[in-house]
Chains A and B, each alone.
Chain A
Amino acid sequence: MERTASLKALKAVVTGIGAVSRLTGRGGGAVIGGKVALTLDKGALPKLAAGRSLYLVSGTNGKTTTTALLAAALGTAGPVVTNMTGANLKPGLVSALAGDLESPVAVLEVDEAALVQVLVDTTASVVVLLNLSRDQLDRYGEVRLAAQKWRTSLGARPEIHVVANCDDPLVVWAARAAGSVTWVSTGQRWRIDATSCPNCGGRIIWAGDEWKCSCGLARPEPEIEGGGDDVVVGPRSFPVQLQLPGRCNAANAAMAVAAARMAGVDPESALAAMVGIANVAGRYREVNIGPASARLLLAKNPAGWNEILDFLAAPPAGVVVAVNARGPDGYDTSWLWDVDFERLEGRPVIAAGERALDVAVRLRYAGVPHEVCADALVAARRLPPGKVELVANYTAFQTVLGAVGG
């Protein structure tokens, strides 16, 4: 009785603060409500998570989308609570869970650095590990350290089942410590962060999809294969028909299919539920900005950018590259030099965002003619009318969403 009362109090705090935050134009309120709840009750997260079947999704890229896909899949079996807006730190999780005390299943996107503490605070059933690559080095430190932390905390919780990407050596090394693992192949192509073995420092030898190190760390045999037109589970093949573009989203779907199987949702029903998703927290959304028909795309790091370059509309479609360097983006813009911006050649391009000049210098050396316009929306209007790809990193994307109403 007392427990129920305190949960209801947390819910009241989160919904009340959220409403105030929205009314006063301070944003969606998911984070501030959770922060206040955590101030009032430091143990809010374990209380709110208790008794639910918890699915955590983490990794450098694809967290928000995979969370949405998995929530849709599990939604076919019963009510699901989720934090689909990308608020993936502790306050965001608290806020999501407090907003829905009833749903027995929770699908939560968790920041890769926050995962360790969330695993301590909750009794997760399944953890989905997507990938690890260089991102925000000034905040997370080096990517190998992140893998080490995952590895240690999964080793301490053998009852957790892990769904892991077998094409990412850092993920494999971390997941090897878990009690049980479903390996999924995703056709991931970003390999530069894992040429030296996370286990021994030796050289990882790649041959096609296979990889191995002399210390014994090697690509596990996948139980589920994805990243292409089908998700292959054993002898059966299931066509993937997403509205979301690109290899990366086919891979995200395969990861979600694998996690949904743990809840007894079969791949066919899971994939059917995913078809309905057209955009995720504003990503992939198409909006008219003046004469531009703009598709909003989020790219926060080199691996994410290189996936997007694969499906970017062909010339003459224009491209806005909007980059900020606030806390959530990382203050260091050096990562722009790990992106193959040379591939934008032939398209009209505008460098935008608070760090438009860093983008401009990068584009100049890439041999891509461009203009500079800090405001991404003004930039979209300046491009030739028609199809525009507006690619922004985290806070630049939030600014755009705020302006177009999202």
Chain B
Amino acid sequence: MAETPARPGDSAVRVALLYPELLGTYGDRGNARVLVQRLAWRGLPAELVEAPWGEPAPASCDVYVLGGGEDSPQASAAAALIAEGAVHRAVEGGAAVLGICAGFQILGRSFFGPDGEARDGLGLIDCTTARRAQPRIVGEILVEPDPGTRLPALSGYENHAGLTDLGPSASPLGRVEVGVGNGDGTEGARQGRAVGTYLHGPVLARNPALADLMLSWIVGDLQPLDDAEVTELREERRRFVAAEQARRAARRPRRWRRGWPPYRRTMSSTARPSAANFSV
């Protein structure tokens, strides 16, 4: 991933929160808040730009954030963003974009609408969301990031029905340790400066290193912040997930533990370290 700053440092970094009325069901507006605040704490000027649905999307922002949403608002948001083209142009010009859940699906090539039919996405990430999980996937999720990202474990909460298949131009954000993610053992996607993930929490509140990684694409290297409180939260979530895993393993009937029928919640085939040994 490119580490060079895309912009000179004196003007304020503008973070656009796209259509929060449509794509803001799960507290995902918090991601924009986190990005702006982490710059402000470092003395770097930053501005949160709310982009309401029905008005032109802001053209010259540095980071665009799309949150989760329900099927019908998701389709409306995608249609409006495709018609506008502002996000495409900004990303071509070096802006970063973060899509959560429905927002992640919108960044891909296609997703299914409220009627089950395929809808066009923005095509900023080479992925499609065509499969539907039954029942809906709801629960804590823990992800081991791709080593190339140099990120610590990603912690979040997932709540989605869509499953996402990545194409060759996109790389997964990481590998699912606990939870489901994309549905094939991977979680999320990145392609250039576009990042998609199923993690709520909000994801940047629980994973400040991911926030700083995205900000570094815009402003270059960043000095560390005091993240003691969030580190404690991450530790607590890791213990919770480990305890839940242990409870589930204890409850599982013997024949399931032998691997048949294959009712495993995660689908990665490689050896999986348990959450308890997993550093956050």
Contact = CB atoms under 8 A, between A and B. Distances in A.
B136 A201 contact: no
A367 B38 CA distance: 12
A334 B27 CA distance: 5
B70 A365 contact: no
Interface stretch (A136-144, A226-234, A250-258): A136-144
Contacts of A331: 138-140, 157
A301 to B, nearest CB: 11
A90 interface: no
B72 interface: yes
Interface string B84-97: 00000000000000
Nearest to B157: A332
Contacts of A195: 21-22, 53
Interface stretch (B145-153, B229-237, B253-261): B229-237
A47 interface: no
A151 interface: no
Contacts of B157: 138, 331-334
Contacts of A144: 70, 72
Nearest to B33: A365
Interface of A: 134, 137-138, 141-145, 192-193, 195-196, 201-203, 331-338, 357-358, 360-362, 364-365, 367, 372
B205 A362 contact: yes
19 contacts: A138-B139, A142-B70, A143-B25, A144-B70, A192-B20, A192-B21, A193-B25, A201-B73, A202-B76, A203-B76, A331-B157, A332-B26, A332-B159, A334-B201, A337-B33, A360-B229, A360-B233, A361-B206, A367-B37
Contacts of B28: 334, 337
Contacts of A338: 24, 27, 29
B14 interface: no
Nearest to A367: B37
A361 B205 contact: yes
Contact of A203 (B20, B53, B202, B205): B53
A206 to B, nearest CB: 11
B75 A201 contact: yes
A333 B29 CA distance: 13
Nearest to B22: A196
Interface string B23-54: 01111111001100100000000000000011
Nearest to B25: A134
A342 to B, nearest CB: 9
B167 interface: no
Given A334-B28, A358-B233, 18 more contacts: A137-B26, A144-B70, A196-B21, A196-B76, A202-B76, A334-B27, A334-B30, A334-B157, A334-B200, A335-B27, A337-B202, A337-B205, A338-B24, A357-B233, A360-B233, A362-B30, A364-B230, A365-B205
A357 B27 contact: no
B116 interface: no
Say whether chain A's binding surface is mostly helix, strand, loop, or mixed: helix
Nearest to B21: A195
A143 B206 CA distance: 25
Interface of B: 20-22, 24-30, 33-34, 37, 53-54, 70, 72-73, 75-76, 114, 136, 138-140, 157, 159, 200-202, 205-206, 229-230, 232-233, 236
A142 B28 CA distance: 15
Contacts of A357: 229, 232-233, 236
Nearest to B208: A361
A203 B53 CA distance: 8
Which of A134, A138, A196, A358 neighbours the largest number of chain B CB atoms within 10 Å of its CB?
A196
A303 to B, nearest CB: 13
B26 A203 contact: no
A370 to B, nearest CB: 9
Contact of A365 (B37, B54, B201): B37
A337 B114 contact: no
Which of A192, A335, A361 neighbours the largest number of chain B CB atoms within 10 Å of its CB?
A361
Contacts of A358: 233
Given A138-B138, A365-B34, A336 B27 contact: yes
A406 B229 CA distance: 33
A193 B22 CA distance: 8
Nearest to A372: B229
Contacts of A362: 30, 205
A75 B134 CA distance: 47
Contacts of B159: 137-138, 332
A196 B102 CA distance: 15
Which of B53, B139, B200 neighbours the largest number of chain A CB atoms within 10 Å of its CB?
B200
A122 to B, nearest CB: 28
Contacts of A137: 25-26, 159
A337 B114 CA distance: 26
Given A137-B159, A196-B72, A203-B54, A334 B26 contact: yes
B134 to A, nearest CB: 13
A137 B159 CA distance: 8
Nearest to A336: B27
Contacts of A201: 72-73, 75-76, 114
Nearest to B232: A357
A192 B70 CA distance: 13
Closest 6 CB pairs of A and B: A337-B30, A195-B21, A334-B27, A337-B27, A357-B233, A201-B72
A367 B37 CA distance: 9
Which of B20, B27, B37, B206 neighbours the largest number of chain A CB atoms within 10 Å of its CB?
B27
B197 to A, nearest CB: 13
A333 B240 CA distance: 14
Contacts of A365: 30, 33-34, 37, 205
A14 B114 CA distance: 44
Contacts of A192: 20-21, 24
A361 B233 contact: yes
A335 B205 CA distance: 12
B241 to A, nearest CB: 12
Contacts of A337: 27-30, 33, 202, 205
Contacts of A143: 25, 70
B231 to A, nearest CB: 10
